[in-house]
Amino acid sequence: MATTKILVVEDDKNIRTQMKWALASDYEVFLAEDGVEAMEVLASERPPLVTLDLGLPPNPEGTSEGLKLLGQILGIASNTKVIIVTGNPDRSAALNAISQGAHDFFTKPIDIDELKAILKRAYYVYTLEAEYKALQKQVGAGDFDDLIGTSPEMQSVYSSIKKVATADIPVLITGESGTGKELAAKAIHNRSMRKEKPFVPINCGAIPENLMESELFGHEKGAFTGAHAQRKGKVEMADGGTLFLDEIGELPPQLQVKMLRFLQDHKVERVGGRKAMEIDVRVIAATNRDLSQMVSAETFREDLYYRLAVVTIDMPPLRERVGDIELLAKSFLQKFAVNRDMPKQLGKEAMDAVRAYNWQGNVRELENTMRRANLAEGRTITLEDLELNTGKNDVQPLDLKEAKDALYRKYIHLAFVKHKGNITKAAEELKISRPTLHSIMRRLGIDLE
């Protein structure tokens, strides 16, 4: 049985070595000291687990490089579980990273037992998601794959997908982040004549500009420093199938020219190569930006825009699909349930809050909220378990005692989650004694151990 791969991204050589030896008995460990090395390892090895120090060169004292790398990792490997490493007692940076898609975090100095527990749980979630996707492929996933919704807005999307699927023409999918643009692209591919061939996605905004040309068009051995072997690009990998260009509005100007040329003659030349290869692909692009405005501002080529937008499909934001919210929430709880026959349920107050929430992050935010809430104790998910940032306290009427008890429940739960059930550390976090914490838990009927 193959050993699970893990990538450790850490600029401190001593910590890298420590983590390598600590994890070597359980994982196949790969090391990187900066973002460039990390992306090279990710591209070649595709590890399911990554530990990421936010303080990386050239800004080791800040978090900007680490957060940028997080986006790049999830842009090309969205299922990867990224565990943030922070040496800062202020948890705001780590929590910010989690809001951007990181799975969890731990703090320096490193407690190896704590780290192993976090990694074990992260890999368990990774395998559950992989098993679910495999099962969906086996049994079939309904008429429109993972697109879920019965609202009039989604019925319009389904109708458009049916019309364009067999036409073999470029399609531009627009909509806010998190609305399901890639799922729509997959649905088009799966109903096309190319469905037996590859569907190859690439996020144009997640790859560093200096690596983007190679990612798209490939490179020959020796084409540039670090090009130790010939490598196919995403366009070539998609030959016969569909190339999905996510966030096409982020494509750098010089690559807009090359993409336009490819769409015109269907030929590609690897970086450092001398031979043009004819490639047969269907291109589907997506963006959360207004490309017509970018054309007016001369930041996106007009000729490329009209090449891509032969047909446009607009994905509606979740706040305009009110009738679908409950259906989606229940579907995600079913997806994340360890026991598929007994998924967790939203209590009445929790369901009311889910329906009333604005969901600025759309379906992706709802999915992440249900994933987090699924870790709550008990089978019924409460309002506190959702941890929705409503910015108001009038979700339900409370007297002062009820409000105080609700606050106690929330912060005790957060402390236990953060410290993995360790009551001593939880009490320290809450700045109360262990006996006091026990007393409050007994009074409120909380059993988190």
**In CATH, what number does 397-449 get?**
1.10.10
CA–CA separation, 223 and 220 (whole Å) = 5
CA–CA separation, 399 and 81 (whole Å) = 41
CA–CA separation, 183 and 137 (whole Å) = 14
Q: Show pLDDT as tens, one digit a residue, over the chain (449 residues).
A: 468 999 999 999 999 999 999 999 999 999 999 999 999 999 999 999 999 998 898 888 888 899 999 989 988 887 899 999 887 666 778 888 887 888 888 888 888 888 898 899 888 878 876 765 554 444 344 456 678 888 888 889 999 999 999 999 999 999 999 999 999 999 999 999 999 999 999 999 888 877 888 889 887 776 666 667 778 889 999 999 999 999 999 999 989 999 999 999 999 888 777 788 899 999 999 999 999 999 999 999 999 999 999 999 999 999 888 778 988 998 899 888 876 656 788 888 888 889 888 899 999 999 999 999 998 887 889 998 998 876 543 344 445 666 677 678 777 877 776 776 777 888 888 888 887 888 888 777 776 54
Architecture of domain 5-137: 3-Layer(aba) Sandwich (3.40)
The domain ranges of the chain are 5-137, 152-316, 397-449
DSSP 271: B
Pick the CATH number of 152-316 from 3.10.20.30, 3.40.50.720, 2.60.120.590, 3.40.50.300: 3.40.50.300
Residues in contact with 10: Cβ distance below 8 Å, sequence separation at least 6, in sequence order: 16, 19, 31, 32, 33, 51, 53, 85
The whole-model pTM stands at 0.57
CA–CA separation, 26 and 3 (whole Å) = 7
157 contacts 315 by C-beta, under 8 angstroms? yes
Fold agreement (5-137, 152-316): yes
Residue at 17: amino acid letter:
T
**Which residues in 26-185 belong to E strands, given as ranges?**
28-32, 49-53, 81-86, 104-107, 171-174
